[in-house]
Amino acid sequence: MQDDCIAVALGLPELRILRQKELGDRFEVTVIHRRNEVRCPGCGRMTNKEHDRRQQRKRDRGLRDKVVILMLIKRRFKCYSCGKVFTEPDEVLVPGNGRVAGSESI
């Protein structure tokens, strides 16, 4: 464990930090939504059956003259009731809400 570090709040309580690293020109912070179940857009029922995961890069505000890249783990769920497979909604890191400068899939 490093003994010359400080913690800086991300300011996104809906997300849980899984790991973080400082690289030469940027910080990379891997995050995932805290919720364990989501509402199916097909039938409206709640489901917690995770189908798969994908990683999405989102550029956030800078910190100490470095770019902050949020590596968002986007989960896809499968509904127990209707069988629909869908990606969890992301109301936190969407362009235009004043939080994320841009995003790109990897």
Which is it for strands 66-78 and 26-33: parallel, antiparallel or unpaired? parallel
Cβ(103)–Cβ(92) under 8 Å?
no
Q: Is residue 1 part of a domain?
A: no
Q: Is residue 38 part of a domain?
A: yes
Q: Is residue 62 part of a domain?
A: yes
Q: Is residue 34 part of a domain?
A: yes
**Which tens digit of pLDDT belongs to each residue from 44-73?**
999 999 999 999 888 766 667 778 788 889
Q: Is residue 71 part of a domain?
A: yes
48 torsion bin: left (phi>0), alpha (psi -120 to 50), beta (else): alpha
Cβ(56)–Cβ(11) under 8 Å?
no
Please tell me the total count of domains within the chain.
1
Q: Which domain holds residue 89?
A: 15-105
Q: Is residue 95 part of a domain?
A: yes
Q: Is residue 4 part of a domain?
A: no
Q: How many Cα atoms sit within 13 Å of 26 on the Cβ side?
A: 13
From 71, 64, 65, select the one nearest 104 (Cα to Cα).
71
Q: Is residue 5 part of a domain?
A: no
**Which tens digit of pLDDT belongs to each residue from 74-103?**
999 999 999 999 999 877 666 554 455 444
Q: What was the pLDDT predicted at 65?
A: 77
| Cα–Cα distance for residue pair 57/18, rounded to 1 Å | 14
| pTM reported for the whole predicted model | 0.72
Cβ(38)–Cβ(32) under 8 Å?
no
